[in-house]
Amino acid sequence: MATKTQVPTTKTITGLPENTEAALTYVLGWVTGLIFLLLEKENKKIRFHAMQSIVTFGVLQVVIFVPFIGWILSPLVGLLAFILWLILIVKAYQGEMLVLPIAGEFAKKQLK
C-alpha cells in the first residue's frame, strides 16, 4: 500500500499554505498586498509577492487616474491589468516566483 508523504509547508502568519497566501496578496491589488506586507514579518516569499502587488497595482491605479492620459488609456490599461492580475494569482498559487521586469525588481530591492 502506497503512502502519501506530505510536503512541508513554510510557516505563514495566517496558517494558510504558502502558495495560497501568496495568491491572496494579489486578490484586491495593492490593498491585499499592503495587508500581507504589514502582517507577514518573516516569510520572504510572501513579502515579495505583497510588495510586488503594491508596486504593480498601485502604479496602474495611479496611471488610470492621471487626467487626460489616464482617461484615454484607462480601458486598455484596465484590460491589461486584469490579465496581469489573473496571471500573477495563478502563478503565485502554483508556487512560482514570477518577477515582473520593473515592479518585481523594485520590490526585491525594497525588501533587502
Check: CB of residue 59 under 8 Å from CB of residue 31.
no
Give the torsion through C-alpha atoms of 9, 83, 29, 112, to 10 deg: 60
Of the pLDDT bands very low, low, confident and very high (cuts 50, 70, 90), residue 9 is low
80 within domain boundaries: yes
Percentage of residues in the chain having pLDDT higher than 90: 55
CB-based burial label for 82 (10 Å; 0-12, 13-18, 19+): exposed
Taken as a whole, the chain contains a residue count of: 112
Strands (E), the chain: none
Q: How far apart are CA 47 and CA 40, in angstroms?
A: 7
10 within domain boundaries: no
Cell of 89: 494569482
Amino acid (1-letter code) at residue 4:
K
The range of the structural domain enclosing residue 30 comes to 18-110
Residue 13, pLDDT > 90, answer no
45 within domain boundaries: yes
8 within domain boundaries: no
The domain tally of the chain equals: 1
Residue 82, pLDDT > 90, answer yes
12 within domain boundaries: no
Q: Which residues of 1-27 are buried (b: 16+ CB within 10 A; e: fewer)?
A: eeeeeeeeeeebeeeeebbebbbbbbe
11 within domain boundaries: no
